A and B are shown apart, each in its own frame.
Chain A
């Protein structure tokens, strides 16, 4: 799974470089272990709310890769019909309720989804991914409080990559940290090394079991690192090169490869995983390149049914005179 996410994002990076992918693309290279470890414990009926950095969450939840790639390429048939792009990637068929362009906005959506699932009698949970920077926005406090008050089945997953865009989050955050904030609101929290996929897997499994057993919300604080810039086009000059170099040593995929090796897999077997995932993604890219763009009329769809915009109304009169008065 981690390899698949990495291959997808490498392809997104290349697509941006050659001009086929547009807009803001936020990559999670270096953070793949979090999504992979958490999703291992989710069923299809569970829902997730994601961040602006949502490719990994989406892929790990089982989103259709071809649909995602078409979406990045802005093509018809993309998972959002070309209306979302990277920052609004979503796949409702597998419970991926969307990446979000507004930091922290997924938190209340996830608690509401959990409440809705309960009201409708569905036996499923909600997972909310958010960044360390988002924990400084009001919705973090409101949503954790809310989830605790209603004992909702929600797992909050903080992907703490140390950075909020170009600012070191620690310089902007008071107090002893995110887990402590959660605990202060009565939400049990665990901090772990988020680059250790085994640790994520084990801890998420335990927390999700507690939630499914009716224990109420839990928070997983996963320390990781964003190995690339904030967006694909950000060279991240604000970070010391030594810091980045040191963190590449801790790349979760390399770490996992080493662990697999220690378990007895040979180099070829590990390389085969990587090759298979790269090939799978290359197929999605080829399909995206071959696909048509959406018709412009699609821009008028899915806005609203009641009072929907009329294609063509943007030119000429917004409202023509009713026939009997059109003298």
Chain B
């Protein structure tokens, strides 16, 4: 019983991280119908910016818990600057192109940003783990867990919840849904479609950077972190159904629990666990768990 409690905690902790790194990708796909490979780069930008700001923050004798606000600030900064730049500067030229071309364009952007990050931050790793250690540990099932994992869970739930309310309970959310249904009719009805696209992409970019910024204290922020995230986020998004918010949440949870169970019981399977889930889901529901037949995707 005890092991299952530990698996549940590990699974939920990993799931919250997975959800944070993939929710932006599914949102952008849902509205813009573009599978954004550069999502990983936005995550990396968030991580590097977060790490740099945290390092600078702790050089001064400031209130240590303020560092969490700094991480939020880093995510906003990256998303609000990079989002509109990428969407207006690049993506809007390829909306009516073949999906393969769109994929190539975002992949090219990913490669460019990878090198841009190296130019900006160099190849040396950055460490900003003070916020991770600040909260201490809590004993669960006889072993110590970092409280930071629960902070991540809180952020993931808050981000997911806020996004759901934004789309389902606000006027702008209704516009997004309208644009998803039919961009042309929306334009005819007076909806400023390009504005919806810019805001949505920026929101997705902020979410990607948020995932990066709050991951930075747990890892060594070094070249190559973007690639890992793209693969994982893509798997989660495909399991949940491209463009589905609920799907990303459920997909992350399933992958998190299955992976944790594998780690504790069949470690050799861990590497394969996420793809096993993906294959099983796609066999039963090729469109993913939550992608419905109708056009509504979010």
Indicate, yes or no, whether A interacts with B.
Answer: no
- Chain A residues close to B by CB (< 8 Å): none
